[in-house]
Copies of this chain bind each other. A is one copy, B any other.
Amino acid sequence: MLGLMQSQQLLISSLIEFADRHHHEGEVVSRRVEGDIHRCTYRDIAQRSRQVAHALDQMDLGFGDRVATLAWNGYRHLELYFGVSGSGRVLHTLNPRLHPDQIVWIANHAEDQVLCFDMSFLPIVKAVHSRCTTIKHFIALCDADKLPADSGIPGLQSYEAWIASHGSTYYWPEFDENSASSMCYTSGTTGNPKAALYSHRSTILHAWAGALPDALNMSARDSVLPVVPMFHVNAWGLPYAAAMTGAKMVFPGPAMDGKSIFELIESEKVTFAAGVPTVWQMMLGHMQQADLRFSTLKRTVIGGSACPPAMITAFNDVYGVEVLHAWGMTEMSPLGTVCTLKNKHVPMGSQEKMTVRLKQGRALYGVDMKIVDDVGAELPWDGKAYGDLLVKGPWVISEYYKGEGDSPLVDGWFPTGDVATIDADGYMQITDRSKDVIKSGGEWISSIDVENIAMAHPAVAMAACIGMKHPKWDERPIVVVVKKPGADVSREGLLAFYEGRTAKWQIPDDVIFVDAIPLGGTGKMQKTKLREALQDYKLPGL
């Protein structure tokens, strides 16, 4: 027997229509590529996203056709989020930090038909457009009078001219909520990039889960700054959750330096900001130097990589800002866990709470997770046993785009490639990436643990631990280190620093000092490149 409830497909267009109707005066503030601050409302975004939909219709794009963006976080990008997906096309956010050859490969693989780009990325588009064979339309996200005259890009139009001729009334199409809405390629350290193809349903369920008090905790009283880029996993779904809740949106544009971010937080009364540790490191540096304090910021969610404990302490103790660890993946839309406390932790002291806060957190309802051993048997949740982390849920991929039915799932579970523990209260902690864990004498050594100890040394700016072949132990760890400017530490000094901080057999066999560690398109250390660079390296004593 079926229930007798209204059947209403969960579509992204309903988010912006809701924001227009119930939060029309809600603010959307953007620092633009032009350098100025732009202010508008959800009503403006709604009207202009409908104009985008009309403009796409006029281009004769079919249902499900891909519309790509190369853009910073800003109001025009937000309009594309709703206009492209809402009208039945697939928003493909390209990552401008990738190498132009990768961008070409990805755009061709996705068969993008349109590319909308910020003027910052004109040089990239100039370099790649002739090789992007499926793109028929190039749109520069600028006013008509800012369009470069001699770009060499065929048929280049300005975004404002493109949408200007269209009305702001539009009847969003209704279709199956399982239809594709957007896509994002993983930065894949090996092989070709692969894309997660999100659906309207997965996006809306993820927005509901993400807005909950135990996740990002978003309300109409919030002013939200997504420092996480809209070109990567939809800025953790914040644009959708904000429209769902009527939260004010504040976009940083290209200005990601500490001073600009801090000023935006203060001027726009930001209550909640989300970003990766590197951006916060710059901001805290700026604040310390200028002796600044926040006046409205209440909490920040940190994801992308583990947050150094010192940063959590600085935010919490010095600035009174709650720091939440979050963990997810491109393949998970991305939210999997957020580290919020439970009832039982409330009476604890700050030191005890810190031991909880250092973990990646608890699963949101909708995501289930498990850890398994080498043969796939589930491991206990005791905070000690560690194994491969697998997840499932309605916003986790079933296969990659053009995967041709080749499912990455194992018995319905997606293998994350992370190694983790889960404690009795359900708090998960990543101990390593599966491919980075060092297998030494039948035991596993976490490369992250080795790196964290090095990072705790006052002279170390960045550290990468990798495993080196060893005839007896199979693998042994070494640590590659970048020193802080003006600071110094010797190989022996750093190895001595490990004494008492970890088991003897987990202390790395060697330290290698370098000027820089290669970073990938999303700011993660590229250990593959390090391993290549060190292919002729020999462990001491071999």
Contact = CB atoms under 8 A, between A and B. Distances in A.
Given A1-B90, A397-B5, A214 B219 contact: yes
Given A212-B212, A220-B214, A2 B178 contact: yes
Nearest to A401: B4
B5 A395 contact: yes
Given A2-B180, A198-B5, A245-B213, A18 B365 contact: yes
A2 B27 CA distance: 33
B199 A397 contact: no
A16 to B, nearest CB: 11
Interface string A388-417: 000011111111110100000100101000
Interface stretch (A143-151, A338-346, A472-480, A514-522): A338-346
Given A18-B365, A396-B6, A344 B180 contact: no
Q: Kindly name the residue among A8, A15, A333 whose own CB sees the greatest number of chain B CB atoms within 10 A.
A: A8
Given A245-B213, A398-B4, A221 B346 contact: yes
Nearest to A345: B221
Shortest 10 CB-CB contacts between residues of A and residues of B? A3-B199, A1-B64, A213-B219, A208-B208, A5-B202, A22-B426, A4-B197, A3-B180, A220-B342, A8-B394
A330 interface: no
A221 B63 contact: no
B222 A217 contact: no
Nearest to A394: B8
A30 to B, nearest CB: 17
Contacts of A363: 18, 22
Contact of A3 (B178, B223, B392): B178
A25 B197 contact: no
Contacts of A214: 219-220, 245-246
A270 to B, nearest CB: 11
A398 B5 contact: yes
A398 B6 CA distance: 5
Contacts of A245: 212-214, 365
A212 B211 CA distance: 7
A362 interface: yes
B218 A403 contact: no
B6 A394 contact: yes
A418 interface: no
A200 interface: yes
A176 B399 contact: no
Contact of A22 (B25, B199, B362, B401): B362
B343 A399 contact: no
Contact of A2 (B5, B23, B179, B424): B179
B365 A15 contact: yes
Contacts of A6: 392-398, 409, 412, 414
6 contacts: A2-B180, A5-B394, A22-B363, A27-B343, A212-B219, A214-B219
Interface string A183-222: 0000000000000111111100100110111100111111
Interface in A412-441: 412, 414, 424-426
Given A22-B426, A365-B15, A200 B4 contact: no
Contacts of A322: none
A245 to B, nearest CB: 6
A209 B205 CA distance: 10
Given A2-B176, A197-B4, A211-B212, A341 B220 contact: yes
Contacts of A63: 1
A392 B7 CA distance: 10
A97 interface: no
A7 B178 CA distance: 9
Contacts of A395: 5-6
A343 B197 contact: no
Interface string A162-179: 000000000000001011
A205 to B, nearest CB: 8
Nearest to A90: B1
Interface string A321-361: 00000000000010000001111111000000000000000
